[in-house]
Amino acid sequence: MPEEVALLSSSDDFLCEASRVPISAVQPNAERIGQEAAALLHRLMRGGKPPARPILVPPLRVVTRQSTDTMAIADIALVKALSFIRENATKCIRVGEIAAHAGISRRLLEKRFIATLGLTPAAQIRRTHLDRARTLLAETDLSVDHVAEACGFGSPEYMTFYFRRELKITPLKFRRAAQGSLVG
């Protein structure tokens, strides 16, 4: 797993984050569930009838983690390379390390990446670092310096440069927008 099967938990809790392969999960809208339950209880206590059908409350979102990060790729060397990148997303890794882990030359790795994924291994490393940075900025209060370090960017300045280039926004503006959407 995750190359063979995707796993999604029905609730987001500590075990999802702490498992060997972090498990993606549905984040329920607990506040709205509580409001609906209180309103229903109030109605029932006043002699009202229970609803004919269940009250459905949509979840807030799906918290995406490694357990659903699947790619149907037949090339075993690419699967190994992508797994290595994902497993080392917190580190500053080099393409040569990935090639050695995959058991092929750097040049062959680059050719296979471009042919299969349409990007270079270095671009995939940066994309993985960026995805992790987006998650940390949206879900934590870590400083930009700490996020850059936790995501394998060489420096906060490089992370900011890459954010601007790829997302057309600074990390702090991204955080404000992401955390503002979580609150409302």
User: Are 98 and 147 within one domain?
Assistant: yes
1 part of a folded domain:
no
- The count of C-alpha atoms lying within 13 angstroms of the C-alpha of 160, restricted to the half-sphere facing its C-beta, is 10
Local confidence band at 183 (pLDDT 50, 70, 90 cut-offs):
very low
User: Are 81 and 137 within one domain?
Assistant: yes
Q: What is the pLDDT of residues 77-123, one digit of tens each?
A: 998 898 899 888 788 889 999 999 999 999 999 999 999 889 999 99
Number of domains in the chain: 2
Q: What is the pTM of this model?
A: 0.62
Rounded CA separation 128/39 (Å): 44
CA 117 from chain center: how many Å?
Answer: 19
User: Are 54 and 104 within one domain?
Assistant: no
User: Are 77 and 36 within one domain?
Assistant: no
Q: What is the pLDDT of residues 18-31, one digit of tens each?
A: 776 677 788 888 88
What domain range includes position 108? 73-183
